[in-house]
Amino acid sequence: MFLLAALGAAAHADGGMTRAQVKAELAEAMRTGNMLAAGESGMTLRELNPQRYPAPVVALGKSRAEVKMELADAIRTGDILANDESGLRVNEEFPQRFPAQVVAAGKSRAEVKAELAEAIRTGDMLANDESGLKLNEELPRHYAKARAAQAGSPRLMTAEAPSAAGRAAQ
């Protein structure tokens, strides 16, 4: 029983915050009104009596000119919702009316196919279940040769180099 009490006290001692930190946090909550009010309302003191507490700092938004400039740009590029129920943007609904979207160059088809073949060979792809594991983690025996080939090739070079140097010295 003493052992259980000691373990419970040790777990409780690892709470993370010191007494001074808790006191400082309480004082800040009292100062700003971020404490629950007494009763069953579920509201904070600030919500019940907003005149008693300083107003929260509000981040400045965009100016009217900035908003108008963004709107004009969105209209010019068609990046606004179409006036129908399709849910498409105007440039998606009428692509011929707007300049083509610039797409960043990606990998070529051959590069993607090579990456896929390598991932299949090494099992470096997600298993077809809910485990979240890769195939080589879920089935390590199936992919042992691929791992050995990947890990073994640098070892072979380092293992051969000293023996060749040793032979030259002999």
Q: Can you give 58-120 as a three-state secondary structure string?
A: CCCCCCHHHHHHHHHHHHHHCCCECCCCCCCEHHHHCHHHCCCCCCCCCCCHHHHHHHHHHHH
pLDDT, residue 11, reads 54
What is residue 42's DSSP assignment? -
128 alpha-carbon distance from chain centroid: 23
Q: What is the CB neighbour count within 10 angstroms for residue 98?
A: 15
Q: How far is CA 5 from CA 1, 16, 18, 30, 163, in A?
A: 6, 19, 21, 34, 62
> pLDDT tens, 127-136?
888 888 888 8
What is residue 51's DSSP assignment? G
Distance separating alpha carbons of residues 82 and 85, to the nearest angstrom: 8
> pLDDT tens, 97-112?
888 777 778 888 999 9
> pLDDT tens, 158-168?
444 444 444 44
Average predicted confidence (pLDDT) for the chain: 79
Distance separating alpha carbons of residues 103 and 3, to the nearest angstrom: 65
Give the chain's residues under pLDDT 70.
Answer: 1-15, 151-170
pLDDT, residue 57, reads 76
pLDDT, residue 116, reads 93
Q: Give me the DSSP letters along 124-152.
A: -SB-SSSS--BHHHH-TTTTHHHHHHHHH
pLDDT, residue 37, reads 85
